[in-house]
Every structure is written in C-alpha cells, then in structure tokens.
Amino acid sequence: MTQVCVPVCEKSLDAFENASARACEFADIVELRLDCLAAVEDWQRWQQVLDRISRPVILTFRPAEQGGYRELDHDARESFWKTAPRTDWWDVESDLAPDADWSRVIISHHDFSGVPDNLEQIYERLAASPARVVKIAVQANDVLDCIPVLQLLDRARAEGRDLIAIAMGNAGIATRVLGPSRGAFLTYAALEDASATAPGQITAQKLRSVYHVDKIDRETMVCGLVGRPVMHSVSPHMHNAAFVSAAINGVYLPLEVRDVKTFFRRMVHPRTREIDLNLRGLSITAPHKSAVLECLDWIEPEAEDIGAVNTVVVDDDKLRGFNTDAAGFIEPLLALTGSLAGSRVAVIGAGGAARAALWALRRQQANVTLFARDAAKARAVGQLFDVSYKPLPSASFAEYDVVVNATPVGSGELIDQTPATAQQLAGARYVYDLVYNPIETRLLKEAGEVECKTLRGLEMLVAQAKIQFQLWTGQAPSASLMYDSAAAALGQ
C-alpha cells in the first residue's frame, strides 16, 4: 500500500495546527518537524494539536547536520525524547536509543553530500537495531544515484525489512515516485513547493494527481525525459494525463542525466542495466540529442539525417531511436501557413532543435537561412543541410516570411532575453518561438509590437509528444488533453 507522508515545519504552534489540518487532505501520514521551532512549547498544548490530526503522526526532532533546522547536541535531543508525547511514530537518529516502544520507531540516517560508498553497511547497521522501520536518505547528483537506493529497497523487501529509502534532490525524483511500488514503507511529499523539507521533495498533490503514485506497481510501464535540466518541463503532465486517459498502467518521470552514455549502459539498455525497471521509452532533450545516437541499436533514417534523436523506444533487448521534433515542428506551422514551398524562412540557432527544423523546412521546399552567434557552428550546420548562414547580431528579418527561434533564449535563466528585437522583426510575417515555457516569451511580445503573426512553442511540444506516445504505446493520445495538461502546468 502506498503511504504518502507530508512533513509540517512551522515556527509556531498555531501554524503547526493549521498546516497539519491542510496536510491531512493529501497525506496518509503527517510528520511534525519540531526542530523547526525556536523552542518546544508546552506539551499539554501540543497534545491538543495532536488530538486534532486525523492521520497517523511521525514526531521528528532533527539536528542540523542531519538536515534539521536547529543546532541540537546529543544531550538536547536525548532530553527531548524523554518528555516527548507518544505519537504513532518517532523518527530518531541512529546515535540515540530512547526509552521507547521500538515497534513505533523509525531509525534514520541522512547524507546530504551524496551516496556513500558504504551504503549497504549503513543499512545493515540500522537494520540490526530494534527499530521497526529503517530510513536512509542520501543526496542524488545524477539519476544514476537512484540505482543503489532502488537496489536497497529490493534487498529490504526480500529480507522482510521495512525501509524508507530516498534519493534527495531533483535527480532523485524516481525514488520518491517508484519507491512505494518497490516496497518502501512510505514516500515523502511537501504540502506546498515552498514548504519542502528536503531537496527534490515535490508536493503531495503533484505526486498523486500528476504521477498517480497510488496506482504504480512493479508492472507499471516507465517512460521519462532525459536531459539536464529537466524539472522545468511540462512533459510529465502531458504524458501522465495521456496514460490515465488511455487506461495504460504507465508513468513518465523527469530524469536528470549528466553522462548519457553511462546512463544508457547502467540504467536503460536491457542487456547491461543494473536495475529492473519496466522501461519502455524515453524523450531526449538538451544536451543529449546528438550524443545519444552512440547508445542505440537502430536509428530511423530521418533521425540519422538530422543528426539528433529525441525519442527512444525499448523494443525487447534493443533500443530504437527516432526524431519526432521535425514532424512536431512542421505540423503547427503548416496548419498556420498552409504551404511553405518557396517561403523565405529564417532559423535562429544551430543546435538539435534547429537541425530538426532545417530538415523539415527543406522537405517542404522552403528557402532557408540559418542565423547563429557561433559562426563556426552555423557554417557547419548550414553546409550539412545545404542552407545559407548569416551572423545573428546584425540580422534584419524584414524580408522573411517566417522567423523561427530554435534556441533556449527566452526560457530558464534567459527568460528576460530575446534572440531578436522588434526592430529586427519588423516586416516579417510570422514568428515561431520553439520555447514553450513561458508560453508568452519576450520574442513573441516583441513580434506583437510590430504586428507579426505568432506561433507558440507549446504547439510543437504537443505535436511531437503525440508521436512519442504512440511509438511507446501503440495508441494515439488526445492532442487537446495533452495541450490542456501542459497549459495548466504553465499556469494558463
């Protein structure tokens, strides 16, 4: 059974009471982090708060070196547990041995520096205690750090030991979502984004409404987004909604990957992977779209021509690569323009997205010019696709029918920037920004100022995602469902 625990960390007793009541709406268990208080208040009042919480309660009093919010020495913590009320569970660090009913104790260890080499030995030491539940939380700096954590859950399940094992950080999301299906005693989730008590802790509402953690089991088909960074992506909202609509037992996860070749060897390829996941498909995003080609057993000719793969299908013991960016790019553009034959199109950028756009535009017989800040890269890509190339800083797009932004400028840390100003865009007919987050980029605002018609990146995102979903499942998803799910995630 999936159990979601929502920690509550507040600075006053009244705030604890209010937050605990809200946590009960989403949680199976509520954790009270009393180390968040400057001083522990009267236990009689605390008992009144506990009596009003309608879920089982974990009481925690964690020192700063273990992820707590106060500097607490051994004596202070020992004194605390001597007078603490008897709740459903006590979460106690492994250096303490309180006078307690150990069948209600979670013995815990936290490492915020990474995954220690002696993880198995730490588990064995904690498992030798009389505590009912062992908890180990380590910092994940790459999705590969999830492997020893998931392996530890498999071991504990085989040994009949109750274990909470979490890889903290954005790279560890998979352990929070998949942990319960592999036997984890519980998984942690925040009440709100701002109230997370550990790195990578997503909200309970998102854990249940986006990732559908209660429905995941060992047979669940796993898909995901491979890149760095990936947490900004709305692809999990689209694909997970499509899984539910199609009644498919599947989940789509963000997977933060540094070294794509090592990731495919240790976690993906059926012949070499170190963890048993029902992995069926992957979306590939920056910066891995070209490097991933070396990891595959077969690549469709279009993706070979483009030199980039954004979709991988796990087919028995083989990995097959596709490029859905090109079709996803051209579909909404043709819907807007009707035809691109003979049109003058400017493409800004020389990365994977630009390569897919160039390939698709050439297939539509458009006259394309490539613009980029890196002249050497633009020259190489331009020659590859037989298009002319020009420097970006001095560009004027007045003579072009379509201007395409295939760079990340306008999103993330570059959200306030634009690859082209209103002055440069004046005279162009259409401006197509492949950036989808935010939906209304600065480039599109600049284009609106000079009355250019605009096309947003969300249309391309949905168009290419539809093809991905069909490649993985054999079923065509609802485009409107995917679009609405993504738009809602973007606050639109």
Instruction: Give me the active site residues, please.
Output: 289
Find the length of the chain: 492
d(CA 467, CA 432): 21
- Beta-strand (E) ranges in 407-472? 430-433, 453-455
How far apart CA 63 and CA 81 sit, in angstroms, is 13
Spatial distance between the Cα atoms of 443 and 449, rounded to a whole number of angstroms: 10
> Residue 58 phi/psi, 5° resolution?
-105, 130
Task: Determine the Cα–Cα distance for residues 12 and 313; give it in Å rounded to an integer.
Answer: 51
The helix (H) or strand (E) run that includes residue 388 is strand 388-391
Kindly give the pairing relationship between strand 318-322 and strand 311-315.
antiparallel
Minimal CA–CA distance to 72: which of 61, 82, 83? 61
Place of tokens 């999705």: 143
| Residue 389 near residue 369 (C-beta atoms within 8 A) | yes
Q: How many CB atoms lie within 10 A of CB 445?
A: 13
What gap in Å lies between CA 474 and CA 468, rounded to an integer?
10
Would you say 405 and 333 are in contact if contact means Cβ atoms under 8 Å apart? no
Residue bearing tokens 């990365």: 351
**Got the DSSP string for 291-333?**
GGGGG-SEE-HHHHHHT---EEEEETTEEEEE--HHHHHHHHH
Partner residues linked to 108 by β-bridges: 93, 135
What are residue 426's phi and psi, to 5 degrees? -55, 125
CB 378 within 8 A of CB 371: yes
Residue (of 309, 217, 231, 196) closest to 489 by Cα position: 231
DSSP 259: -
Report the alpha-carbon distance of residue 86 to residue 102 in Å, rounded: 12
The answer to whether 34 and 60 are in contact (CB under 8 A) is yes
Q: How many other C-beta atoms can be found within 10 angstroms of the C-beta atom of residue 332? A: 19
Q: Alpha-carbon Rg of the chain, whole angstroms? A: 26
